[in-house]
Structures are given as structure tokens and as C-alpha cells.
Amino acid sequence: MDRIEFMKHYRRFEKGSITRRDFLRLTGLGMAAAALAACAPAGGNATEPAAGANLGDRLDLATWPNYHNLKNFEAFTAQTGVNINVNVFGSNEEMLAKLQAGGTGWDVFVPTNYTISTYVKLGLIEPLDLSRLPNFDEASFEARFLAEARVAGDTNLYAIPKDWGTTGYMVNTANVTDKMTSWKQFFDLTIEKYSGKTTIHDYQLTSIGNALCYHGYSFNSVDPAELAKAEEILLAVKPHLFAITSDYQPPIRNGDAYIAMAWTGDALQVKRDIPTVEYVLGSEGGEIWEDNWAIVKDAPHKDAAYAFLNFMLDPNVAAEETNGHGYPQVDQRATALLSDAMKNDPIMYPAQELLTPLEFGAAVCLTDENRAELWARVKSA
């Protein structure tokens, strides 16, 4: 009996569905089996841990909801004896605030691209020791994605791209007959034709960024004159919005909204249930993002953290991750292992000409005071 089965029996015991005698018999067997398993070589399809490494029995991971294939975690635990303790967060800001306050005990976390430079400046992460990550193959990662895990004037990698996606919008073509392709249409049609049927993110980076795209400016602009133009369009659209929310699946699903500013994963999930929903990337540009694996500088279980990252960088494991959560991989070796249906999915892998104008969000957008105040004015309006 392995750990997982042991835990299963343990939970059953907690719930009172097995007798104490049964439990003791099972645990006795379990302990014997666990001792044997520790001597036996690790099995499975994934990489083996470094010989003789004592990784401890615990790893603390801070991540987003529904963002991993739990089968991979189970395989890692079976192989190394390291249990993964998962902490789930709702926003990068929350994660940053926790790490900045200190004493989290986290080992690995999954920051989004635009926060990496902030973590480096605050001394919360340090360059990764790539010699401890033999599964990482730089050549199979597109340079554009790796650049986001570096900081200016430094060739070190501070993190490794985990998966990526875009920010576009969902359109339910059952209600919206216009062929939508741009951010200009997103805002104009909301005002003219679909008043009360559109949602935008409750997030200044994307909502202001896409309003900047409306005018053809950079998604990341902090130019006051350009921001003023973006404010104009946001104030004009506000009375026509159904909601300012990042929880936009419910209104799209129950028909309250026809158009919703959306991230890749939500669009994939909704389209699975409502085939009339299409995902549009604005032709003017917009956001491309990546989440990264990073190791906390003061990680209490650093060896386990490196072993875990190396395990997750195995192309087979990475491909299984995508099969589990649906976000595209950066590692081309992993992408090659995906099903054709996934590789040809226009939401997961949009056409290259749509991706080219997209920009990675910049850290400056989150620290720029004008953007923060602009957003407060829009929400107050």
C-alpha cells in the first residue's frame, strides 16, 4: 500500500466507515509496504530523483485554483516521498503581499510574468541553478517567453515558464450576429447595440490595457495623454456594462452577458459547454501572459523544490499538466505530445498573426499611480 492508498484508508477511518481493527491492520501493512517501497527503485514514466538525495517529506506550493494535474503530484509523491502541500490564491497581488510579509514557508510558487521583476527587486527570488534542472531544455522554449523570466541587464533565469495564455473576449454568437474581431468593436458595439450585455475585468491591467488598444496605443502605456483617451472610452462604456468582474463565467453561462473580457482558460471551459461562444483576440493587440515556476529564496525545502521543478519540466509530465488544466505549454517538447485536437484548438493556440501584436503586461502598469487612480474613477463613475 502506498501513501495515497494509506491516506484514502485514513480518511475513510476519519469518516468512520472502517472499523478500528481494520484500520490497524491496514496501517500495519501500510507501514511495512512503505518501508519496502522506500528501498525499491522509483517507477513510473517520469524522471528519477537524484541518487542519494534526501528531499525530506514536504513541499509547500502556492498556486492558482484548478491549475495542476493532480496525477502528476501523486506520481511525484510516490517517487520521492515528498508530499505537496497546496495553497491556493486568487491574485498575484495577494501572493506578493504574503511573500513580502514573510514567514510563508512556501517553496515553489507560480507568479505571472509582470511580477517577476518586482520579486527580484524585493529580493524574494534568486537566479535558478539550472544545473539542478537537467530536464530543462532552453532550446525548446520560445525566446519571447523566456525573456519574461529574466530582468533587465541580467542573463540569469529567475523562473521557468509554466504555461501561457492570452486576454481576449468571449462572444456568444447566438446573440451577437456581428463578426467581432477588434477591441474597437468590443467597446463600440457594447455602447451602440449590446448595452447591458458586456462585462470587463475587475483588473486595471487588462481593462485599461484593452481600452488603450482601442485607440491603437500600447497595452502597457503609462503616458498620461494616452491614459486620458483610455479613460474616456471606459467612462463612456461604464453605463452600458453588465458588470465589472473577473468572475464572468456565470453571466455568460446563464445568458445575462453576451460579451465578456476573458482569459484563455475560461473561454476554453465555457466553449466546452456552450459551442456558440467564440473567443476573440483584438486585432489591435492586447495581452499575452505566462505563469512561471519560481522557487522562493528562503524556501525551507529547497532540494525538494528543485526536484519538483525538474519533475514538472519533464515533457511527459508537462503534457499531462496541459491535459489536466487546459493551458498551453511553452515547452515545444511537451506541446508535441498533446493530442491534435488540442494543438489545433484556436483558443489554446491562436493563429500566429493574432499573437504577434500581443504584449506581455509590464510591471510598471501595476505600480503606476495614474493607472490606479484612473481605475478608481472608472469604478466610482
Partner 1 sequence: MTVSTRKTKLTTALLLAPASLWYLLLLVAPLVIVTIFSFGERAPEGGYAAAFTFEQYLKLPTRSTPFINTLWLASLGTFFCIILAYPLAYYLATRASAQMKSILVALIIVPFWTSFLIRTYAWITILSSRGIPAILERLGLVQDLVLLNTPFAITLGIVYNYLPLMTFPLYVSLERLDKRLLEASKDLGANRWGTFWQVTFPLSAPGLITGSMLVFILLMGEYLIPALLGGGKIFFVGNALVDLFLQSRNWPFGSAVSMALNFIMLVIISLYLWLTSRLGGEGREEVSLF
- Residue 287 CB, nearest approach to partner 1 (Å): 16
What is the contact mask toward partner 1 in residues 182 to 221, using x (rule: CB under 8 A)? --------------x--x--xxx-----------------
What is the total count of residues that contact partner 1 (CB under 8 A)? 37
Q: Write out the binding residues for partner 1, residues 234-253 only, by CB under 8 A.
A: 238, 241-245, 250-251
**Helix or strand run (H / E) with residue 97:** helix 92-101
Contact partners, residue 45, CB within 8 Å, separation at least 6? 75, 316
- Residue 369 CB, nearest approach to partner 1 (Å): 7
54 binds partner 1 (CB under 8 A): no
8 Å CB contact between 166 and 264: yes
- Residue 196 CB, nearest approach to partner 1 (Å): 6
User: Considering beta carbons, is residue 144 or 238 the nearer one to partner 1?
Assistant: 238
Handedness of CA 164, 169, 172, 178 (dihedral sign): negative
The DSSP 8-state label assigned to residue 150 in this structure reads S
- Residue 121 CB, nearest approach to partner 1 (Å): 6
- Residue 202 CB, nearest approach to partner 1 (Å): 5
Point out which residues pair with 358 in neighbouring strands: 286
Q: Write out the binding residues for partner 1, residues 111-130 only, by CB under 8 A.
A: 118, 121-122
224 binds partner 1 (CB under 8 A): no
Q: Tally DSSP H helices, then E strands, for the chain.
A: 18, 10
8 Å CB contact between 178 and 189: yes
Q: Write out the binding residues for partner 1, residues 251-280 only, by CB under 8 A.
A: 251, 254-256
Longest dimension (CA), the chain: 75
- Residue 256 CB, nearest approach to partner 1 (Å): 5
User: Considering beta carbons, is residue 133 or 362 the nearer one to partner 1?
Assistant: 362
Beta strands in 45-110 (DSSP E): 58-63, 83-88, 108-109
User: Considering beta carbons, is residue 116 or 309 the nearer one to partner 1?
Assistant: 116
User: Considering beta carbons, is residue 120 or 160 the nearer one to partner 1?
Assistant: 120
User: Considering beta carbons, is residue 299 or 378 the nearer one to partner 1?
Assistant: 378
The DSSP 8-state label assigned to residue 182 in this structure reads S
315-325 and 302-312 helices, crossing angle to 10°: 80
Residue 124: Cβ within 10 Å count: 21
71 binds partner 1 (CB under 8 A): no
Place of cell 498573426: 353
**Helix or strand run (H / E) with residue 162:** strand 160-172
User: Considering beta carbons, is residue 2 or 256 the nearer one to partner 1?
Assistant: 256
Closest Cα partner for 204 from 333, 71, 377, 21? 377
- Residue 139 CB, nearest approach to partner 1 (Å): 33
- Residue 371 CB, nearest approach to partner 1 (Å): 8
What is the contact mask toward partner 1 in residues 83 to 102, using x (rule: CB under 8 A)? --------x-xx-xx--x--
The beta-carbon contacts of 265-268 under 8 Å, at least 24 apart in sequence, are: 265/165, 265/325, 265/326, 265/327, 266/170, 267/168, 267/170, 267/347, 268/326, 268/345, 268/347, 268/348
Point out which residues pair with 288 in neighbouring strands: 166, 360
Pairing of strands 277-280, 160-172: antiparallel
Which residues are near partner 1 by CB under 8 A?
91, 93-94, 96-97, 100, 118, 121-122, 196, 199, 202-204, 238, 241-245, 250-251, 254-256, 366-367, 369, 371-373, 375-377, 379-381
